[in-house]
């Protein structure tokens, strides 16, 4: 089952003013949707061509990556979840958005969800670092790689701490 999740959204072209509807991917299962992972790598997941003038319109949205098959190697550890906040949000908003996406993924996965994944908090990477190539052997030039591979630790790698007191159930649905 693919727990990836897209939210319908309306974006407006800055060049011509055209408003159009897009599917804004907020949760991507990297194992089930390598096509979407590739778009993340290219920095194009939340970028859309304007249907009227062709200008690329960037939507500002958070992203929760879920590595369902092979875990992502990050700073020498293997992670199943990775959050990349929207660019123009405050930390409080980022935490709220991460929490909401985690709750949705938890509900979608059901018994497949493991609290273990968040034992050390939710790894966070700024969007720019997600576009780095997957594997970069020392002394070799970077090149694209379709596998999840390894994301190198960036200067802004942060973690959203786990919320020990927060309920894990989702009452609605």
Q: Where along the sequence are the contacts to Zn ion (CB under 5 A)? A: 13, 15-16, 18, 50, 52-53, 55
Least distance (Å) from Zn ion to the CB of residue 6? 22
The residue (of 49 and 161) whose beta carbon lies closer to Zn ion is: 49
Helix (H, G, I), strand (E, B) or coil at 160: strand
User: CA 56, CA 172: separation in Å to the nearest integer?
Assistant: 36
The residue (of 19 and 112) whose beta carbon lies closer to Zn ion is: 19
In angstroms, what CA-CA distances link 79 with 51, 66, 121, 171?
A: 38, 9, 10, 27
Block residue for tokens 């949205």: 61
Least distance (Å) from Zn ion to the CB of residue 167? 44
The residue (of 20 and 129) whose beta carbon lies closer to Zn ion is: 20
The residue (of 19 and 70) whose beta carbon lies closer to Zn ion is: 19
Least distance (Å) from Zn ion to the CB of residue 15? 5
Q: What is the DSSP letter of 70?
A: S
Block residue for tokens 């994301």: 151
User: CA 18, CA 52: separation in Å to the nearest integer?
Assistant: 7
The DSSP-derived string for 69-125 is SSPEEETTEEESEEEE--TT--HHHHHHHHHHHHHHHHHHHGGG--GGGGTT-EEE-
The residue (of 1 and 53) whose beta carbon lies closer to Zn ion is: 53
Helix (H, G, I), strand (E, B) or coil at 92: helix
Least distance (Å) from Zn ion to the CB of residue 72? 35
Least distance (Å) from Zn ion to the CB of residue 48? 10
């Amino acid at each position: 089952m693919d727990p990836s999740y897209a939210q319908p959204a309306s974006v407006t072209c800055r060049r011509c003013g055209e408003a159009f509807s897009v599917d804004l991917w907020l949760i991507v299962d990297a194992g089930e949707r390598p096509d979407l992972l590739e778009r993340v790598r290219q920095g194009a997941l939340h970028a859309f061509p304007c249907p009227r003038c062709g200008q690329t319109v960037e939507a500002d949205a958070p992203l929760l990556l879920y590595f369902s098959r092979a875990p992502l190697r990050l700073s020498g550890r293997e992670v199943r979840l990775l959050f990349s906040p929207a660019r123009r949000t405050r930390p409080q908003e980022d935490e709220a958005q991460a929490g909401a996406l985690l709750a949705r993924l938890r509900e979608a996965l059901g018994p497949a969800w493991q609290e273990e994944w968040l034992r050390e908090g939710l790894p966070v990477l700024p969007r720019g670092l997600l576009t780095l190539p997957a594997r970069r052997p020392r002394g070799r030039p970077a090149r694209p790689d379709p596998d999840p591979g390894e994301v190198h630790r960036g200067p802004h790698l942060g973690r959203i701490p786990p919320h020990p007191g927060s309920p894990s159930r989702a009452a609605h649905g």
